[in-house]
Amino acid sequence: MPHPKPRPLISVIIPVFDVGDHVADCLRSLQAQTLGDFEALVIDDGSTDNSAAIAEKVIGQDPRFQLIKQQNQGLSGARNTGLDLAQGDFIAFLDSDDRLDPSYLSWLWQALDTTGADWVSCGIRFCFPNDHHIDHSAIHGRAERHSSGQITRYPQHSWKDAIPHFPSAWNKLYRRSLIDGLRFPEGTWFEDHEFYYQAVARTDHLLHIEAPLYLQTRQRQGQITGRDSDRVFEQFTVLDRVKQLMVSSDRPDAEQAFERITSRLLFERSTALRAPERRARYASACATYLATHQLTYAPDWDPHISRAWGLEMAGTLPLSVVIPWAGQDIDLLEESLQSLARQGAPGREILILCSSDQALAQAKTIAEKHPEARVLHHTGGEDLGAACNAGLQAAQGLYVNFLVAGDTLTEMALHDWVDGLLKSRADFAVSVFRLGLEGDNYHSSFYQNDTVSLDDMGAAAFRFSPEAAIALDGQVSPKLYRRAFLTETGLQFGPGALPGWTIAMQASLMAQKAAYFQQSGCNVNQSSEARAQHHPPHHKGTGFRQDLRSLDQLAEDLDPNLAARLSKGWQRRLFARALRQRIARLKPPLRQLKLALLSASAAWIAFRRGLTREQTPLDPGEGRRIATLLSIEARLRRDS
């Protein structure tokens, strides 16, 4: 008589639908688990690609894996099939485009076995296409608690206890008795929420491991959470069911918890919406839902919930992003637009400013893939400052960022900047940035000396001191402005090769409040193509003369009362900074000859402008060559 097959310790349920590029890695990560006592129920939910064939090949003769094929029933239907077949004493869910750390099952099961807990969750590693990753605790408001390995028991006595934890089916291991009889609602998106809160209602605790053991794929084409679809409106029905579950239980704080989780989920759904018409309809529907249920939008309990979404629900556009485009290298524009597409919040318009018919045609072709983008023509020529000023005039957002084509923004930059300014009521924000699209060459945005405290500026809204204004770098992209502040003060970008210097210094001196972000939010493209795009070879007056044009305009535009606040020698310091940047751009061949000619020319110009008469301070680390060059007359006077 054959022996019955022993029951597995853990059942892992893997729904599969059209994930041919990911399913092999997913299943291999399960095969690599250090705990091998499991069954894997691979539910092919009517895939139309080669997912099933790939899964079958990876499974091979591994007896722990079963491939079950069914007609498409959606994610919930596939998971429910797995629940019907599961034999293990513990149950886990693994999405087929994700992976597991090799110790995932072992670590989670040992936590339950040792403590007797009903279920356990773990931290997450968000994995992006460029091999970049971000670790998260999977607890809202405590994102950074993800790597200590500590195991914590979180009580679930109030509904407010439940809402900080990710309501995902995955990243958890369940004792079978906890979820016995529970099923996922079929025919809807966002099915995890109801399942999660039903599980919460059955227990008084949740165990959590501070380690990123679940590896979630992000920015995959076709992901539900990233899909711009009218099915986003199904969130309201799911919320209705969650509310009924909460208010019908004996647990306290149902109303406050529901207000908070509603605020989070309504905002989260907005991050996938790019089409302006759909986004506006959804914002209006969210406002109606909150009003109907007598709820207030409550973003403050978690810094990752956007305050700016409240503006959108009230009909205000939070942000305009202006991208000047001279038509020199199409890849530069695409780089910037792709980085904006990865920004989940806030809502925005993207204005691409073109100075020629050729650039206009190119930009319109690319903009078809970016529904927030509008392509506009301006008559200021290829000058970067003129394009920025034209974009400012056309902008409608409460805040405005000027993004040089080729520069990119980090994933949460716009969310952090806009929400930071909303919270602080600041006029102007400056961010740390990276020089280059890769590497570790970060710039604080300040040429720092003892009078500039970056930690103090990063801690709270501040008012620029004159010394901090002089020390501020003039890069265009890593800054955000309140648009009304610019229009009310008449501030604009200057001409020449350094247009951002004019507006940055004046904004810093005139802003009543400013904000500083110490985490890098921008990558400044350092390629020769990026640097040359607004000053191509045929442009008259290239080189250091264009830098001088910017510096002259800055001195001319600066209000005398503001200029009087600046320390002696500020123009000399900016001249030296511009010269150093110009020297750094000299390339072979004949670099030494170019350097000699530039140095001689700069020395003569500085002498004629009276910048060599005093040995006032320069930026820290300016270099001996420039310090000597700008002190010749002062040294001759001293030695005579």
- Asked whether the beta carbons of 305 and 423 are under 8 A apart, the reply is no
Asked if residue 301 is part of any domain, the answer here is: yes
- 182 plus 237 within the same structural domain: no
- The pLDDT of 184-198, averaged and rounded, is 93
Asked if residue 496 is part of any domain, the answer here is: yes
Asked if residue 428 is part of any domain, the answer here is: yes
CATH of the domain at 365: 3.90.550.10
Worst-scoring range by mean pLDDT, 49-53, 519-523, 550-554? 550-554
Q: Kindly indicate the confidence band of residue 531, based on its pLDDT and cuts at 50, 70 and 90.
A: confident
Tokens standing for 445?
């945005």
- 49 plus 93 within the same structural domain: yes
Q: What is the DSSP letter of 3?
A: P
Burial class (CB in 10 A: 0-12, 13-18, 19+), 181: exposed
The per-residue pLDDT for range 119-132, each reduced to its tens digit, is 999 999 999 887 78
d(CA 244, CA 397): 38
- Asked whether the beta carbons of 167 and 225 are under 8 A apart, the reply is no
Query: In total, how many domains does the chain have?
Result: 4
- 103 plus 252 within the same structural domain: no
Domain range for 379: 326-532
The per-residue pLDDT for range 297-347, each reduced to its tens digit, is 999 988 889 999 999 999 999 999 999 998 889 999 999 999 999 898 999
Dihedral over alpha carbons 133, 184, 37, 148 (to 10 degrees): 40
The per-residue pLDDT for range 76-85, each reduced to its tens digit, is 999 999 999 9
Worst-scoring range by mean pLDDT, 134-148, 380-394, 571-585? 134-148
Q: Where a domain ends, among 210, 225, 240?
A: 225
- 78 plus 218 within the same structural domain: yes
Say what the pLDDT of residue 131 is: 79
Say what the pLDDT of residue 222 is: 47
Say what the pLDDT of residue 143 is: 82
Say what the pLDDT of residue 615 is: 85
Over 403-466, what HEC string results? CCECEEECCCHHHHHHHHHHHHCCCEEEEEEEECCCCCCEECCECCCCCCCHHHHHHCCECCCH
Residues 6+ apart with CB under 8 A from 395: 320, 322, 349, 351, 483
CA 471 from centre of chain: 27
The per-residue pLDDT for range 347-377, each reduced to its tens digit, is 999 999 999 999 999 999 999 999 999 999 9
* Total-model pTM: 0.90
Residue 391 in this model has a pLDDT that exceeds 50:
yes
Residues 6+ apart with CB under 8 A from 16: 23, 42, 43, 44, 45, 47, 51, 52, 55, 78, 96
Q: Kindly indicate the confidence band of residue 219, based on its pLDDT and cuts at 50, 70 and 90.
A: low
- Asked whether the beta carbons of 17 and 46 are under 8 A apart, the reply is yes
On average, the pLDDT of the chain sits at 92
Asked if residue 485 is part of any domain, the answer here is: yes
d(CA 191, CA 150): 29
Asked if residue 551 is part of any domain, the answer here is: no
- 265 plus 331 within the same structural domain: no
Say what the pLDDT of residue 536 is: 52
* Kind plus residue range of the DSSP H or E element containing 112: helix 104-115
- 68 plus 217 within the same structural domain: yes
Asked if residue 391 is part of any domain, the answer here is: yes
- 58 plus 73 within the same structural domain: yes
